[in-house]
Amino acid sequence: MPSHKHREKKIRQDEKRKTRNTKVKSKIKTLSKKVRAAAVATDTADMDKLVREAAAAIDSAATKGVIHKRAASRRVSRLAKLRNKSTTAQPTAVQSTEAAE
């Protein structure tokens, strides 16, 4: 146990920050998993909305200092890249099945 009041306050602050950061990081991970699941299911209608939500949560976390701004940029870029890859891959698959018929 700390013997100074300022150390006690610092411990309280650290606990609050830790719980807040854990919640924010968990939300980011959950939204990212939803985006990846939509990419696998090739659900393009839902994909754009999910990517926007995830990007907003990631940018907010970077603003608050939960994650570094470059890490946030990298994560958003990877999600956008995944969205673009899945949306461009789907029409070619549809065209190839139409050509086979």
Question: The whole model's pTM is what?
Answer: 0.78
57, part of any domain: yes
Q: Is the pLDDT confidence value at 36 over 70?
A: yes
CB of 94 within 8 A of CB of 47?
no
From CA 50, how far away is CA 47, in angstroms rounded?
5
Token code pair at residue 46: 């839902």
50, part of any domain: yes
67, part of any domain: yes
Q: How many domains does the chain have?
A: 1
**Whole domain around residue 49: which residue ranges?**
19-91
Token code pair at residue 86: 């899945």
Largest Cα separation within the chain, whole Å, is: 79
pLDDT at residue 101, rounded to an integer:
55
CATH number for the domain that contains residue 79: 1.20.58.110
Mean pLDDT, rounded, of the chain:
89
Token code pair at residue 58: 């990631």
Tell the residue number behind the tokens 């200092």, with chain if given.
Answer: 65
Mean pLDDT of all residues in 47-62: 95
